[in-house]
Amino acid sequence: MELFWYIILMSMLAVYIILDGYDFGAGIIHLFFAKTEKDKKAITNAIGPFWDANEVWLIASGGILFFAFPTLYASSFSGFYLPLIMILWLLIFRAIGLELRGQIHNKMWEAVWDKAFGLASLLLALFFGIALGNVVRGVNLGMVTNGVSAHEAHYFFLPLWNPTFSPQAEHLGIIDWFTLMLGIIGVVSLTIHGANWIIFKTNSSLNSKLKNVIFKLNIVLLALIILSLLVWHIIEPQPFHNFLQYPWLWVFPIIFFIGHLGLFKIRTFKKDGTGFLFSSLFLFGGLTSTVASIFPKLLPSTNSVNPDLTIYNMAAHEYGLSVGIYWFAVAIVLVLVYFTIQYKVFKGKMDDIGYGEH
């Protein structure tokens, strides 16, 4: 049962990254590339009917985490308290940036909320990449100092950074050079993904320019990926041990590289949705490859005193996990029906829907 709920949790997170990821990316494109009012409207129209529904997957993932792995939920929300509050505020500012911009037709008012939307999107992409870096790197469970655990085995708390900015320090911070690198990869990846969504859903004058932006950013992304794989050995001496033990797991890196390499042909795609398909494959393959590399760990321990938090020592009682399947089945059917109707209603180009106009 633990494995079933782990797969469900990771699947929901992957769906969230793909769906809300294009919202973040569109916000970054809006911040740096949308210079005219027409281009800004095209971008907000492209995500307007979807962004709030896409966030449901994050809430649902938190619910699954609380239900299936409650100790991990308690540990993570305590240890990552500061960045989680920052993410909450960024989600709020992204939302009100979209919703309040059109309330008053004043250039200063619109400029303030444009910046709020764009900067919040950029920082959300950065923080979610940093969050993934923290999971890969691990944390000092039990707050061990000089070989002595100061707290219970699943407790930890991280400041925003430590003085050394090192991922190998005894007392870690949320941000170090390794997690920041993954954060930058997150920003570049979601910028590409958002640009592909804009191309897919609009006829904006930006589209031809965005294809060139995607191509150039994909080169930057390739360099960052190679660098991250090289330095991964510093964090994990045997980073590919799961792939060597279970060769079928290589399907996830293959999906990852198909998505990435496909994006180099962005200028030649005849259908506008092809680029979005490849960036979705890239994000799905990247997330699943990362979690497969540390399985069955949910949160590694950086000390030898307290054990890693895994799907087996963090799971709820088997009876509760079994009963939850029935409720999950009902919920997922309702969600899938809703999303099917939503994406059918808003299929095609979105240039003229007039989102946020008053």
Could you report the per-residue pLDDT of 281-305, keeping only the tens digit for each? 999 999 999 999 999 899 999 888 8
The SS3 call for residue 146 is coil
The closest alpha carbon to 28, from 120, 150, 136, belongs to 120
pLDDT higher than threshold 70 for residue 357: no
The answer to whether 40 and 30 have CB atoms below 8 angstroms apart is yes
pLDDT in tens, 128-145: 999 999 999 999 998 888
pLDDT higher than threshold 60 for residue 358: no
Distance of CA 23 to the CA centre of its chain: 11
The helices-and-strands tally (H runs, E runs) of the chain is 13, 4
pLDDT higher than threshold 80 for residue 353: no
C-alpha distances out from residue 138 to 86, 150, 173, 331, 351, Å: 20, 17, 11, 32, 44
Predicted confidence at residue 217, as pLDDT, reads 96
The answer to whether 16 and 23 have CB atoms below 8 angstroms apart is no
Q: Kindly give, in sequence order, each residue whose CB lies less than 8 Å from that of residue 336, ignoring residues fewer than 6 positions away.
A: none
Predicted confidence at residue 225, as pLDDT, reads 93
How many percent of the chain have pLDDT more than 70? 99
Averaged pLDDT, 318-342: 89
How many percent of the chain have pLDDT more than 90? 55
H helix or E strand, kind and range, residue 329? helix 318-345
pLDDT in tens, 102-122: 788 888 888 899 999 999 999
Place of tokens 């939307």: 117
Averaged pLDDT, 77-91: 91
The model's pTM: 0.93
Which phi-psi region, left, alpha or beta, contains residue 200 (left: φ > 0; alpha: ψ -120 to 50)? alpha
pLDDT higher than threshold 90 for residue 15: yes
Tokens of 123: 């920082």
Predicted confidence at residue 5, as pLDDT, reads 92
